């Protein structure tokens, strides 16, 4: 199977798994747009490893759907599944602990997992500005700081991603500052 076919197979699989899910943004965007955006960001940052791009598309399937590691391994191979597992939160933990662990563990991830993690945070920060969820200013600010800390732990794997993460965090704080002054 060609790399293009494998990538499209991952997109189709993720679309099916996330078919009934929506993002928490103001537009209730179909969830599949997010993992596709994460893969697109990686591709724009010159990440050409098809298995990293596949894992980016699949990165939330175990965490947010009924998908199992065994299913991913059987369908996409051990490396893709391993990358997905490396960026998957343990939903058995409370939200604050999951976030704390993301920050603490970011620097210990493999370089490929760091690429996915930082692209995920870039995508989330862009979405936060483009179609913000109904969150108070404090919650948005807390998310921006969290994303910046996780991305900071992933620095050094891709110069473009590093720059984009800093830009998105900074511009998110600028938006918050303007909105805060206007209230």
Predicted confidence (pLDDT) per residue in 35-71, tens digit: 999 999 999 999 999 999 999 999 999 999 999 999 9
Helices (H), the chain: 3-17, 33-44, 50-58, 61-64, 69-76, 78-86, 95-105, 111-130, 137-153, 159-182
The CA distance from 142 to 139, in Å, is: 5
> pLDDT at residue 136 above 80?
yes
Q: Categorize the per-residue pLDDT at 112 as very low, low, confident or very high, splitting at 50, 70 and 90.
A: very high
Instruction: Provide the annotated active-site residues.
Output: 63-64
> pLDDT at residue 175 above 60?
no
The CA distance from 14 to 36, in Å, is: 9
Q: Which two tokens stand for residue 176?
A: 């918050």
Per-residue pLDDT at 173: 60
Per-residue pLDDT at 182: 41
Q: State mean pLDDT over 92-113.
A: 97
The answer to whether 61 and 84 are in contact (CB under 8 A) is yes
Q: Categorize the per-residue pLDDT at 131 as very low, low, confident or very high, splitting at 50, 70 and 90.
A: confident
């Amino acid at each position: 199977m060609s790399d293009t076919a494998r990538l499209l197979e991952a997109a189709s699989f993720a679309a099916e798994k996330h078919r009934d899910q929506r993002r928490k943004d103001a537009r209730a965007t179909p969830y599949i747009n997010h993992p596709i955006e994460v893969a697109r960001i990686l591709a724009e940052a010159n990440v050409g490893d098809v298995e990293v791009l596949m894992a980016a598309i699949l990165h939330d399937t175990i965490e947010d759907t009924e998908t199992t590691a065994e299913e991913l391994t059987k369908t996409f191979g051990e490396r893709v599944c391993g990358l997905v597992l490396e960026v998957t939160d343990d939903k058995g933990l409370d939200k604050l602990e999951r976030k704390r662990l993301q920050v603490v563990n970011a620097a210990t991830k493999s370089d490929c997992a760091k690429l996915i993690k930082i692209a995920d945070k870039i995508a989330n920060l862009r979405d936060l500005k483009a179609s913000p969820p109904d969150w108070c200013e404090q919650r948005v600010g807390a998310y921006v700081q969290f994303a910046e800390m996780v991305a900071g732990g992933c620095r050094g794997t891709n110069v473009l991603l590093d720059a984009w993460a800093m830009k998105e965090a900074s511009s998110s704080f600028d938006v918050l500052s303007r909105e805060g002054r206007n209230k």
